Amino acid sequence: MTKIDVDLLVISEMRDYVQEQLDVRFRAHKLYEAPDADAMIAELGPSIRAVAAGSHRNVDTDLMDKLPNLEIVSNFGVGYDNVDAKSAGERGIIVTNTPDVLSDEVADTAIGLMINTVRELPQAEQFLRAGKWTSANYPLTPNTLREKRLGIAGLGRIGKSIAERAESFGLSIAYYGRSDQKIAYTYYDSLKALAENVDIIISVLPGGTATNKVYNEDVFKALGPDGTFINIGRGSTVDEDALIEALKNGTIRSAGLDVFDHEPHVPEALMALPNAVLLPHVGSGSVYTRNAMGQLLVDNLTNWFENGKPITPVAETPFSAK
């Protein structure tokens, strides 16, 4: 592999598998290891042409201002709400993400989380481990997936992988998004309408200002006392206080959450609730899938500098050859 004559700023810690490739192909500078990040940016800023990003540090206009020759931000993750992609696009900076390679893994996690939440499997395991089985059976679960209607909010790449799996469970499927995709599933043009017409919502909505706290008291009321809310998208889409209240007072039955508003911090009130199943953002978290995502991050960078064409640029930014 030939070395590419480019200074790359690595702003979030990468897996070894990724970092080793970045070190081989580029002059990679690890911002997250710098004792004084501002000093490193001041010294290297004009020479940096590429950024490798992750969720630990945002790429905002403040950072872009300090990197005047930046051409590409390669982000680890399909969600890129950590990058101001609109401003990057306006400056002619490409932003890439890692779609598709994680969809099946995240869909598996979403389905697992749904079953765990509806059938209380983690709670049943706690019951066994606490030695309670010798004196009683675990109570029958009031909820089931049988004869249920599933609403998917955000029927994109991951949402469709979830729908494929859910069909095999016999769930009837509806969805919400900004547009009617004219497909076999029933479309609702608002979250409230979706919530009124399904038993379970799985949310795969992206983060960002347009979806900020769109799951509020009204939506939880519409979902109703038998309803289950699963979130595999972004924590910022949920008014967590309203969700906690809805779970406490029976406005909805249960919730399964892989993502939270202030990760890795999860509200104590949520952790205390017996009808919430909580995961530490593990949707795509297998070695296999994280390696595939890392490879795509690297390939986006090398393709841009070798061929003038990134592989998976996001919608807001340009991608034409240099």
Q: Which one-letter amino acid corresponds to residue 167?
A: E
Out of 25, 29, 49, 234, the active site residue is 234
Out of 27, 57, 165, 281, the active site residue is 281
Query: Binders of ligand NAP: how many residues, by CB under 6 A?
Result: 28
Residues 8-67 that bind ligand NAP (CB under 6 A): none
Classify 200 as helix, strand or coil: strand
According to the binding rule CB under 6 A, does residue 261 interact with ligand NAP?
no
Residues 82-101 that bind ligand NAP (CB under 6 A): 99
Answer yes or no: 281 catalytic. yes
Answer yes or no: 234 catalytic. yes
According to the binding rule CB under 6 A, does residue 183 interact with ligand NAP?
no
The correct pick among 146, 178, 182, 322 for binding ligand NAP (CB under 6 A) is 178
175 forms beta bridges with 152, 187
Site string for ligand NAP, 186-215 (x = CB under 6 A): ------------------xxxx--xx----
Q: What gap in Å lies between CA 151 and CA 175, rounded to an integer?
A: 5
Q: Which one-letter amino acid corresponds to residue 221?
A: K
Classify 73 as helix, strand or coil: strand
Q: Where are the alpha helices (DSSP H) in 26-120?
A: 37-44, 61-65, 85-90, 103-119
According to the binding rule CB under 6 A, does residue 155 interact with ligand NAP?
yes
Query: Is the Cβ of residue 18 or residue 232 nearer to ligand NAP in the bound state?
Result: 232
Peptide bond into 99 cis (omega under 30): no
According to the binding rule CB under 6 A, does residue 179 interact with ligand NAP?
yes
Q: What gap in Å lies between CA 117 and CA 195, rounded to an integer?
A: 17
Residue 172, token pair as written in the block = 């009837």
Residue 305, token pair as written in the block = 């500098």
Residue 311 DSSP one-character state: S
Residue 13, token pair as written in the block = 């810690």
Within 10 A of 139 (CB to CB), how many other CB atoms are there? 10
Residue span binding ligand NAP (CB under 6 A) among the ranges 33-41, 232-240, 243-251, 297-305: 232-240
Cβ-proximal residue to ligand NAP, closest one: 156
The correct pick among 79, 256, 294, 310 for binding ligand NAP (CB under 6 A) is 79
Residues 282-301 that bind ligand NAP (CB under 6 A): 283-284
Residue 263 DSSP one-character state: T
Residue 299 Cβ vs ligand NAP, minimum distance, rounded to whole Å: 17
Q: What gap in Å lies between CA 140 and CA 38, rounded to an integer?
A: 57
Residues identified as active-site: 234, 263, 281
Q: Which residues bind ligand NAP (CB under 6 A)?
A: 78-79, 99, 102, 106, 154-159, 177-179, 204-207, 210-211, 232-234, 258-259, 281, 283-284
